[in-house]
Amino acid sequence: MTGVTAFLVHWAQMPRYRWLARIVGARGMRQVASAAYDHVLAPTLYHLHRLRKHRRDAGPQGD
């Protein structure tokens, strides 16, 4: 289970997020949310992860 489907499962189990699961899980919205996740959010998160990893691996400079 990945992407929006995973979020929907988690949100449906969290009382404060059930409303979000119902909205995003609605017909039409799920396809839009999946496209946004696959083409915008996931690549952005991966890019941020790579930056953090690069900074961590570079370590402190100086001395």
Between the alpha carbon of residue 26 and those of residues 6, 8, 19, 22, 60, the distances in Å are: 15, 11, 11, 6, 48
Tell me 14's DSSP state.
Answer: S
What pLDDT, on the 0 to 100 scale, is given for residue 44? 96
Give residue 1's pLDDT band: very low, low, confident or very high (50, 70, 90). Answer: confident
At residue 2, the pLDDT reads: 82
The set of long-range contacts for 42-51, using a CB threshold of 8 Å and a minimum separation of 24, is 42/3
Domains of the chain, residue spans: 3-57
The count of residues in the chain is 63
Please report the pLDDT score of residue 62 as a whole number. Answer: 53
Q: pLDDT tens-digit profile of 5-49?
A: 999 999 999 999 999 999 999 999 999 999 999 999 999 999 999
Residue 34's pLDDT is what? 93
